[in-house]
Amino acid sequence: MTSILKTSLIPLVAALVLAGCASTSTFTPAAAPAAPVAFKEDGGARFANVGPAEAQPRGMWWTVFSDPVLDDLVLRAAANNTDIQQAAARVQAARALLRDAQADLLPQVGAQLGVSRATIQPGFGAAPGAAANLGQTGLTASWEPDFFGKLTKTRNAAKLDEQSREAALQSTRLVVQSDVAQAYFELRALDAERDIVRQTVAAYADTLRLTERRYQAGDVAELDLARVQAEVASTNSQALALDRDRALHEHALAVLLGELPTSFSLKEADWAGALPGVPAGVPSTVLARRPDVASAQLAMQAAEARAGVARLAWFPDVALTANGGYASTDIGDLFKWSARSWGIGALLSLPVFDGGRREAGVQTANAQWDIAAAAYREQVLGAFRDVEDQLASLRLLSDQAGAQKVAVDASTRATVLSDARYRNGLVSQLELLDARRSELANRRVAVQVRAAQYQATVGLIKALGGGWGPDAVPTAAVASPAKKA
């Protein structure tokens, strides 16, 4: 017995020696960029570092705009948006793959029942070497002991994939919510512009009627009438262009909601409500909540685990098998005790020469890890850029809005004065048209600046991972602000 045991262990010992001599060099990807203590565009306030908080609830951040229509649109998108549905399905697929990887760690048991025609060996009631029908039934079992951690690493990689998909789902929800908010505010801005242009068209129509009467009375030349007619037609053209833009934006919003553009419409409404203010000292640690960054980090960790699995290809695979049941050439005797059969076995497999396939597998896994690490680094850099961009935009747009208000007030006053002077015959028609053209341009720019402020505010919320309220910022970042150096 001892000699048999020693003989059976020789292949295993040889395989372990070969595995120990195999190349299993490790690979270290580039590190992620260090987080700054504060944002450049936020006054230099410093905050303490905190751990990842991507799972922290974002809450209904869009309610800070106090717009019931927006609230309804976001909830409709959450229920029907196709991007969210696809991301949720990917989570389910990742969970199924995780269950599959977990199943490899457990024994596998199966039942079999079959009939075959084969050459019969002695002991089955037929002449040796003769062909006969052989019936078989019984149970089989197999198990692969995870001696080297290959199956565990594969399961861990699948778990990280599942977590990455869950973070990607949360990221998709945030993107869809912000896209809906930005599309909605773009529509409201177009409505405001259309209202301004319609008012301008009405004012030009009054001027045209006055000019026609004066032309018929011989007070003005035909050139003056032609100028006003051209201005009316040009402004009407601008109004039609805005109508087209609004229709296209409305259709795009319908698709975001997962609804048919044919049956969706959003009524015009006044753009009421004040722009929510951004508190000073937004900490850089809020980026720990960004689900897209968390998804990229988890994907990198999954690639790292798979690189470890690839290196374990140099180690042998061991499988234990067992079977028990009945086998007989006579179906009637199949379940008799004398027809019983059983067997146990152990299989150790290790390729001795594979033409470099395992080494290529390791290099491929390391390359995938490197790609995932670079993607994670890029995601982190992009996250910080997003916040800096939106903070800079809000700061400069606030200044621009103040300057534009002065321009609107001045151009409006100039139009009123020019109109009174023109009606009294004190100035030419060109002066009045120039004043109205300047007022229209300034009022439209003011609406565009306001729309840009709303877009940047939503963009900042998205860049921060979902708002900046007490429930949005990691607790440690609120509770332990560091002193300025």
Per-residue pLDDT of 161-191, as tens digits, reads 898 889 889 889 999 999 999 999 999 999 9
Asked whether residue 120 carries a pLDDT value surpassing 70, the answer given is no
CA atoms of 84 and 294, how far apart (whole Å): 17
Entry pTM: 0.77
Tokens 């596998």 belong to which residue?
Answer: 108
Conformational region of residue 216, where left means phi above 0, alpha means psi within -120 to 50, and beta covers everything else? alpha
* Model confidence at 81: pLDDT above 80: yes
Q: Give the chain's domains with CATH numbers.
A: 25-104+148-314+356-479 (1.20.1600.10), 108-143+316-349 (2.20.200.10)
**Which of the four pLDDT bands, split at 50, 70 and 90, describes residue 30?**
low
The better pLDDT of the pair 16, 437 is held by 437
Backbone torsion region of residue 4, taken as left when φ is above 0, otherwise alpha when ψ lies between -120 and 50, otherwise beta: alpha
Q: Which residue has the higher pLDDT, 399 or 354?
A: 399
Reported as a pLDDT band with limits 50, 70 and 90, residue 349 is: confident
- Tokens 């509770």 locate to 479
**Residue 468 pLDDT > 50:** yes
pLDDT on residue 339:
63
Identify the band that residue 396 occupies on the pLDDT scale cut at 50, 70 and 90. very high
- State residue 428's pLDDT score: 75
Which pLDDT band holds residue 28 (cuts at 50, 70, 90)?
low
Interhelix angle 150-216/82-103, nearest 10 degrees: 180
CB environment 67-92: b (16+ within 10 A), e (fewer): beebeebbebbeeebebbeebeebbe
Cross-strand partners of 139: 111, 324
Confidence of residue 38 (pLDDT cuts 50, 70, 90): low
DSSP per-residue string spanning 69-85: HHHHHHHHHHHH-HHHH
Cβ contact 290:342 at 8 Å: no
pLDDT at 46: 38
pLDDT band at 54 (very low <50, low <70, confident <90, very high): low
Q: Indicate the pLDDT class of residue 290, thresholds 50, 70 and 90.
A: confident
Residue 320, helix vs strand vs coil: strand
Please tell me whether residue 469 adopts helix, strand or coil conformation: coil
Mean pLDDT, the chain, rounded, equals 79
Greater confidence (275 vs 126) lies with 275
In degrees, rounded to 5, the angle at the alpha carbon of residue 473 between the alpha carbons of residues 472 and 478 is: 140
pLDDT reading at 11 higher than 60: no
The pLDDT value recorded for residue 183 is 94
Number of Cβ within a 10 Å radius of residue 337 = 7
Helix (H) or strand (E) holding 208: helix 150-216
Q: What is the mean pLDDT of residues 415-432?
A: 83
For residue 463, count other CB atoms closer than 10 A to its CB.
Answer: 24
Q: Does residue 120 contact residue 275 with C-beta atoms inside 8 Å?
A: no
